[in-house]
């Protein structure tokens, strides 16, 4: 596990979050308000993804994690799920080369075994192609759930002996390659984390907006980052302790 665990120490942090995690909510409501089919909202949401990825890269965000499809989303109507899978496959086929050209590293986390073999192959190809890129790390959480993540980490460790340490379990989580999120954003007005990154959000700053995801873009991202910049990140300390760390040492 990274030494920057928020429960073990004080992670490095600044005015711009190193890692932003987003639940992209509101595609269906956006379409319904315009008397369009739900898939139109999802397609417009894909455009918002492109703009947000570009904006994060320009602002120096190191990691962006997007909750694209939860393990609970299989409960949606079969037709909508099929259209979402088609949209996911198309995005992988059409966008990965552009990500690569812009130095973005692509990662997909979740139980991908349930996806069509074509989607699984595109995921593997995209991750291979972009593996050495040094820019923004874009993680797509697909068929992902926070409880699934913790359980699969425990299952990986089932042959371990002795007491399980936090560092050991965290090293088996799906996103062990990334620092914990600094800023969590949820669009669409709901104020819950919906089984997303349960372990990793322990000390994350939460930001909720009424804006529907298809309307989200660079300006909305800047508002969220500005809100984050005004937060006092104490990690269990007092305000006085935080202030003391900001004062220059006297020789």
Q: What angle do helix axes 38-58 and 218-229 make, rounded to 10 degrees?
A: 60
Distance separating alpha carbons of residues 137 and 211, to the nearest angstrom: 25
* CA dist., res. 234 & res. 83, Å (int): 43
* 3-state SS class at 9: coil
Decide: 23 and 70 in contact? Cβ < 8 Å.
Answer: no
**Is residue 196 a contact partner of residue 31, using CB atoms and an 8 Å limit?**
no
Catalytic residues: 25, 73
Whole-angstrom CA distances from 95 to 68, 89, 101 are 15, 10, 10
Q: Are 66 and 139 in contact (CB under 8 A)?
A: yes
Closest CA to 149 of 133, 171, 134, 165: 171
């Amino acid at each position: 596990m990274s030494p920057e665990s928020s429960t073990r120490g004080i992670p490095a942090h600044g005015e711009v979050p190193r890692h932003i995690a987003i639940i992209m909510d509101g595609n269906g409501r956006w379409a319904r308000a315009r008397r369009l089919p739900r898939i139109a909202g999802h397609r417009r949401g894909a455009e918002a993804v492109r703009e947000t990825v570009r904006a994060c890269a320009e602002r120096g965000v190191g990691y962006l994690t997007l909750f694209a499809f939860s393990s609970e989303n299989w409960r949606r109507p079969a037709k909508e799920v099929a259209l979402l899978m088609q949209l996911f496959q198309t995005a992988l086929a059409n966008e990965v080369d552009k990500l690569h050209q812009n130095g973005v590293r692509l990662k997909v986390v979740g139980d991908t075994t349930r996806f069509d073999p074509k989607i699984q192959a595109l995921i593997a190809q995209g991750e291979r192609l972009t593996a050495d890129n040094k820019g923004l790390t874009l993680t797509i959480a697909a068929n992902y759930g926070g409880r699934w993540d913790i359980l699969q980490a425990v299952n990986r460790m089932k042959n371990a002996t002795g007491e399980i340490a936090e560092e050991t379990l965290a090293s088996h989580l799906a996103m062990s390659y990334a620092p914990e999120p600094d800023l969590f954003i949820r669009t669409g007005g709901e104020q819950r984390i919906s089984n997303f990154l349960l372990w990793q959000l322990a000390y994350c700053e939460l930001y909720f907006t009424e804006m529907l995801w298809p309307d989200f873009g660079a300006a909305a991202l800047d508002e969220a980052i500005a809100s984050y910049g005004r937060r006092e990140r104490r990690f269990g300390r007092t305000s006085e302790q935080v202030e003391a760390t900001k004062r220059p040492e006297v020789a």
